[in-house]
């Protein structure tokens, strides 16, 4: 990667080339040059991921033991209880397990914890309640790796608890019947990139394989579940490469052709009319699913993703939509308060007794993005404990930060991008100090500025529907598989129109041609994007689904200063 000399953006990012710099003023040249720079060709397998390329599920540590136990329970008519989590990943994984195991003939029950009352993890009481109902097999989703008490209670009660999770383990592992977690040191399945729902999906693949070998394969196609696997993977901001790229690629196809009843209802209430992409999930679908666990109860979201009744789905989707509107209002207010309280400190760690449990993580995310460093925002629960949510930015690993603060935490869990825990009594200041020190240690060797990687310089002559459509082939776009970012040098802002929510519509010109452009959340860029100015902008060339008829637009992310 080569830096552009003296180039920083208005948002404070350092501009670098992603690969050898390319310049194109013609669409086909831009496409061919991009493929060459990325080491691809138009027929590369990258552009057509195949489910047959998924790894053998039995390569995951403890999978044989777990799958044999589940398959045996199905054949024996045992009841199975699923311990989910309240976020999108947790409820999606609970839904796919319940749907598939029901289809296989199992008697399945589930439980989702309440965010404020119960917190993350498997409680001891839900395990005891399952045993009292005559259940002897449980499966967790997106939780359990740090639930030592629940696993110990399960062993005491002769309850076989299979943990399926992806969060970073502690040095000691819980004594579960089986622990399916690619993040454990002795595993590494799928390059440790799966979300919790992804782990649950591979468990189902293994179970189906065992049942098939015994001539008992259920009359149910696991590909039906890929819409929810894709939503969970994107919602949990997992790397969209390798195994995840395959799962999400086919999950998006399912969402666009045969979504489950609940997802179809959610897309309708969210007014999703164009093709569903990873961006659609991130901005329109996942927030509504997460809103249930943040503001009410995650069980509502799980039931939406599980139901086969279109009327029930429509009602639940409406509830989630209204809940998401409430979430937005509360989140904005909490974020404003965090900004005021952190005005004089570099360590972004703060809590307040009146903050809503469901939005502290979102507020932490906003802080992290604005300041370019990890943030921790907490609330005080009904037991007067400070519970904190952490969010980070590229270059930091939240799971490792939590481990560095473990002496101050009662319990915690997390992965690269997010996590949380409960602060030990009287140790808030010690946590803040440990958090700040851990951030500094991760910062060593990092650049002072966040980096913006650019694929090439485009002339307005390259702004063509054909190029925009070809660029869509890089979907699913997201973490570790970013959108192609282009630099438009010295373009004239012929016209500007301000819309609601900080959105700006621009007309960019090189003196001969005009290209429509749009800026989302561009408040910080407003002064640099005045009509009549000549600017250099960074962004993506996209098909304009709103206008249709082959229209294109350039989505501006940032403005570059001092371009050489």
For the chain, which residues make up each domain, given as ranges? 3-46+450-561, 51-319, 342-443
pLDDT band at 2 (very low <50, low <70, confident <90, very high): very low
Per-residue pLDDT at 449:
56
Per-residue pLDDT at 447:
52
Which CATH topology does 51-319 take? inorganic pyrophosphatase (n-terminal core) (3.90.1640)
pLDDT beyond 80 at 444:
no
Per-residue pLDDT at 325:
97
- What H or E segment, with its residue span, contains residue 156? helix 148-156
Per-residue pLDDT at 452:
86
pLDDT beyond 80 at 9:
yes
pLDDT beyond 70 at 253:
yes
Residue 148, burial from CB neighbour count under 10 angstroms (0-12, 13-18, 19+): middle
Per-residue pLDDT at 134:
96
Per-residue pLDDT at 116:
83
Share of the chain above pLDDT 90, in %: 81
- The per-residue pLDDT of the chain, averaged, comes to 93
Share of the chain above pLDDT 70, in %: 97
Per-residue pLDDT at 446:
58
Per-residue pLDDT at 413:
83
CATH of 342-443, one of 3.30.470.20, 1.25.40.10, 3.40.640.10, 3.10.310.30: 3.10.310.30
Query: CA-CA distance, 494 to 511, in Å (whole number)?
Result: 9
Residue 459, burial from CB neighbour count under 10 angstroms (0-12, 13-18, 19+): middle
pLDDT digits (tens, 9 = 90+) for 63-78: 999 999 999 999 999 9
pLDDT digits (tens, 9 = 90+) for 417-427: 889 999 999 99
Homologous superfamily of 3-46+450-561: Nucleic acid-binding proteins (2.40.50.140)
pTM: 0.90
Per-residue pLDDT at 189:
97
Q: Which two tokens stand for residue 512?
A: 């001969």
Per-residue pLDDT at 274:
84
pLDDT digits (tens, 9 = 90+) for 324-335: 999 999 999 999
Query: CA-CA distance, 68 to 72, in Å (whole number)?
Result: 6
């Amino acid at each position: 990667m080569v830096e552009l000399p003296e180039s920083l953006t208005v948002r404070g990012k350092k501009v670098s080339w992603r690969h050898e710099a390319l310049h194109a003023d013609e669409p086909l040249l831009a496409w061919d040059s991009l493929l060459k720079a990325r080491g691809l060709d138009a027929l590369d397998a990258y552009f057509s991921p195949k489910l047959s390329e998924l790894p053998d599920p039995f390569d995951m540590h403890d999978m044989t033991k777990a799958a044999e136990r589940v398959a045996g329970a199905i054949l024996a008519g045992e009841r199975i209880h699923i311990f989910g989590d309240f976020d999108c990943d947790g409820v999606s994984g609970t839904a796919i397990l319940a749907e598939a195991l029901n289809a296989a003939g199992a008697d399945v029950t589930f439980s989702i914890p309440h965010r404020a009352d119960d917190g993350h993890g498997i409680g001891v009481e839900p395990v005891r309640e399952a045993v009292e109902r005559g259940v002897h097999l449980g499966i967790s989703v997106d939780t359990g790796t740090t639930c030592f008490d629940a696993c110990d209670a399960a062993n005491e009660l002769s309850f076989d608890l299979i943990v399926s999770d992806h969060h970073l383990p502690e040095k000691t592992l819980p004594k579960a019947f089986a622990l399916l977690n690619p993040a454990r040191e002795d595993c590494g399945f799928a390059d440790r990139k799966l979300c919790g729902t992804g782990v649950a999906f591979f468990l189902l693949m293994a179970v189906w394989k065992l049942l098939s070998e015994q001539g008992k394969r259920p009359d149910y196609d696991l590909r039906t579940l890929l819409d929810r696997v894709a939503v969970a993977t994107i919602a949990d901001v997992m790397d969209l490469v390798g195994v995840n790229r395959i799962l999400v690629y086919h999950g998006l196809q399912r969402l666009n052709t045969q979504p489950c009843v609940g997802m179809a209802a959610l897309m309708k209430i969210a007014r999703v009319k164009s093709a569903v992409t990873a961006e659609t999930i991130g901005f329109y679908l996942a927030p509504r699913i997460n809103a249930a666990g943040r503001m009410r109860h995650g069980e509502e979201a799980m039931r939406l993703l599980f139901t086969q009744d279109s009327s029930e789905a429509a009602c639940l989707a409406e509830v989630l939509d209204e809940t998401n509107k409430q979430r937005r209002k509360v989140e904005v207010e909490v974020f404003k308060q965090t900004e005021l309280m952190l005005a004089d400190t570099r360590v972004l760690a703060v809590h307040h007794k009146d903050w809503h449990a469901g939005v502290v993580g979102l507020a932490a995310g906003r802080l992290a993005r604005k300041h370019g460093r990890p943030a921790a925002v907490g609330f005080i629960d009904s037991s007067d404990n400070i519970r904190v949510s952490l969010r980070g930015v590229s270059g930091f690993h939240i799971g490792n930060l939590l481990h560095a603060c473990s002496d101050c935490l009662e319990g915690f869990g997390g992965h690269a991008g997010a996590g949380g825990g409960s602060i030990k009594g009287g140790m808030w200041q010690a946590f803040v100090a440990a958090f700040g020190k851990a951030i500094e240690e991760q910062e060593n060797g990092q650049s002072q500025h966040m980096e913006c990687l650019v694929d090439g310089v485009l002339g307005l002559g390259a702004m063509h529907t054909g190029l925009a459509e070809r660029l869509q082939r890089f979907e699913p776009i997201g973490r570790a598989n970013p959108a192609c970012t282009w630099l438009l040098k010295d373009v004239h802002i012929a016209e500007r129109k301000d819309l609601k929510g900080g959105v700006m519509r621009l007309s960019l010109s090189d003196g001969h041609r005009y290209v429509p452009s749009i800026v989302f959340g561009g408040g910080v860029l407003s002064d640099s994007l005045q009509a009549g100015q000549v600017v250099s902008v960074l962004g993506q060339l996209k098909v304009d689904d709103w206008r249709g008829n082959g229209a294109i637009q350039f989505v501006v992310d940032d403005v570059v200063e001092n371009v050489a």
